[in-house]
């Protein structure tokens, strides 16, 4: 089944806290298939990957919580099975002996609208479908969970202002009739696809206020988003539409140390111009039978240590604690 990819990290001492990580489970009770690029996808096996992840996390006994970075079920899931499929995966996460934090991805929204999805994922729905939130697992750290589909052509009602804004955005930037096609788009413009989305103005203001508060409280911040926020950690197509604007807000402060995400199934790691680490996690969906992609992260004052299993690469992320 695969063992942890060990790294010598020279960290010393006990972590402040630890948490489990997995992304892009994309379960569906359908035969194996392929992505549009021809990459094999194992829709039923991904549930077994999740089951092994939960068992591993529970056996660890030291994990304070777990995070799934979006896409809980696959868009190819038959729509009459969507609700039960989401419930089935959520029930599996519930076997973990601790809190589980979710964020929405595009495949979640192909299956269920926000008003049905958010309660199932226990995402605090504070204001009309809003799916961004923050939490503090320890006094010196704060986690910020962004909603990368705040402005999106999927998930909102067809006549919702955010849907209309997203469609206008895409028409202006992607001339293809199929807005999921990057044909003819070059460089970073290849991210202007319907399966991505953007952070809206209200969320951007919220993010700024949270980072200002974290700075005043001398907290380190970990930003979580289904969509990658740095081109160095991802291919061009999966990036958040306005990742540059989000990073402009983040770069105003020194408190953000790491950005974690999913969506780009191959995973990646980069350090941006301001020294912030970006770690995109490898997907559970693309694990052939008998292999895995999950892990846990140990958090220290000056580093995060990702201990990955099989296809999830172990990564030590060092940063200035101040």
pLDDT digits (tens, 9 = 90+) for 74-129: 999 999 999 999 999 999 999 999 999 999 999 999 999 999 999 999 998 767 78
235 Cβ neighbours under 8 A, 6+ residues apart: 264, 266
DSSP states along 135-174:
EEEETTEEEEE--TTSB-SSSS-TTSHHHHHHHHHHHHH-
3-state secondary structure of 190: helix
Judged against a pLDDT cut of 70, whether residue 1 lies above it is answered with no
Which pLDDT score is estimated for 213?
98
On whether residue 90 sits in a domain, the answer given is yes
Judged against a pLDDT cut of 50, whether residue 6 lies above it is answered with no
Average pLDDT rounded to a whole number, residues 140-155: 97
Could you tell me the residue range of the domain that residue 261 belongs to?
A: 17-318
Judged against a pLDDT cut of 60, whether residue 5 lies above it is answered with no
Distances in Å between the alpha carbon of 134 and those of 145, 211, 299?
6, 11, 17
Structure tokens at 233: 């950690």
Judged against a pLDDT cut of 80, whether residue 4 lies above it is answered with no
Average pLDDT rounded to a whole number, residues 21-41: 95
On whether residue 4 sits in a domain, the answer given is no
pLDDT digits (tens, 9 = 90+) for 267-293: 999 999 999 999 999 999 999 999 999
Asked whether the beta carbons of 216 and 255 are under 8 A apart, the reply is no
Asked whether the beta carbons of 200 and 246 are under 8 A apart, the reply is no
- Name the β-bridge partners of 25: none
Give the Cα separation of 138 and 301 in Å (integer): 11
Which pLDDT score is estimated for 201?
98
Give the Cα separation of 223 and 256 in Å (integer): 7
Q: What CATH number is given to the structural domain containing 296?
A: 3.60.21.10
On whether residue 292 sits in a domain, the answer given is yes
On whether residue 10 sits in a domain, the answer given is no
3-state secondary structure of 274: coil
- End-to-end Cα separation, the chain, in angstroms: 40
Percent above pLDDT 90 for the chain: 92
Judged against a pLDDT cut of 70, whether residue 321 lies above it is answered with yes
Asked whether the beta carbons of 267 and 39 are under 8 A apart, the reply is no
Which pLDDT score is estimated for 2?
41
pLDDT digits (tens, 9 = 90+) for 235-272: 999 999 999 999 999 999 999 999 999 999 999 999 99
3-state secondary structure of 56: helix
190-224 b/e (C-beta count within 10 Å ≥ 16 → b): bbbbbbbbbbbeebbebbeebbeebeeeebbbbbb
Q: How many structural domains is the chain composed of? A: 1
On whether residue 6 sits in a domain, the answer given is no
Of residues 176, 269, 258, 185, the one with CA closest to residue 224: 258
The secondary structure of residue 175, as a DSSP letter, is -
On whether residue 2 sits in a domain, the answer given is no
On whether residue 109 sits in a domain, the answer given is yes
**How many CB atoms are closer than 10 A to CB 34?**
9
Which pLDDT score is estimated for 128?
77
3-state secondary structure of 95: coil
- What global pTM score does this model have? 0.95
On whether residue 7 sits in a domain, the answer given is no
- State the pLDDT confidence band at 7, using cuts at 50, 70 and 90: very low
Of residues 189, 178, 121, the one with CA closest to residue 155: 121
Which pLDDT score is estimated for 127?
74
Average pLDDT score over the chain: 95
Give the Cα separation of 80 and 287 in Å (integer): 26
pLDDT digits (tens, 9 = 90+) for 51-62: 999 999 999 999
3-state secondary structure of 249: helix
pLDDT digits (tens, 9 = 90+) for 118-136: 999 999 876 778 999 999 9
Judged against a pLDDT cut of 80, whether residue 12 lies above it is answered with no
Judged against a pLDDT cut of 70, whether residue 3 lies above it is answered with no
């Amino acid at each position: 089944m695969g063992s942890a990819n060990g790294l010598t990290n020279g960290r010393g001492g006990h972590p402040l806290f630890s948490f489990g990580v997995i992304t892009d489970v994309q379960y569906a009770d359908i035969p194996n298939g392929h992505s549009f690029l021809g990459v094999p996808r194992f829709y039923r096996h991904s549930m077994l990957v999740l089951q092994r992840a939960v068992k591993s996390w529970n056996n660890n006994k030291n994990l304070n919580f777990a995070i799934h970075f979006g896409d809980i079920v696959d868009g190819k899931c038959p729509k009459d099975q969507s609700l039960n499929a989401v419930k089935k995966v959520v029930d599996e996460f519930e076997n973990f002996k601790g809190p589980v934090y979710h964020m929405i991805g595009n495949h979640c929204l192909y299956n269920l609208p926000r008003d049905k999805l958010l309660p199932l994922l226990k995402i605090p729905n504070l204001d009309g479908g809003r799916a961004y939130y923050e939490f503090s697992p320890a006094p010196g750290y704060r986690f910020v969970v962004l909603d990368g589909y705040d402005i999106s052509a999927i998930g909102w009602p067809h006549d919702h202002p955010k849907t209309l804004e997203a469609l206008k955005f895409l028409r202006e930037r992607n001339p293809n009739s199929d807005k999921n096609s990057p044909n003819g788009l070059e460089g970073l413009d290849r991210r202007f696809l319907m399966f991505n989305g953007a952070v809206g103005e209200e969320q951007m203001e919220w993010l700024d206020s949270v980072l200002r508060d974290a700075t005043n409280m001398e907290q380190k911040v970990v930003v979580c988003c289904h969509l990658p926020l740095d081109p160095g950690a991802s291919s061009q197509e999966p990036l958040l539409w306005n990742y540059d604007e989000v990073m402009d807000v983040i770069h105003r402060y020194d408190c953000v140390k790491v950005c974690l995400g999913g969506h780009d199934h191959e995973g990646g790691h980069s350090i941006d111009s301001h020294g912030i680490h970006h770690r995109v996690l490898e997907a559970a969906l693309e694990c052939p039978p008998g292999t895995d992609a999950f892990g846990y992260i140990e958090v220290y004052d000056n580093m995060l240590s990702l201990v990955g299993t099989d296809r999830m690469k172990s990564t030590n992320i060092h940063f200035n604690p101040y």
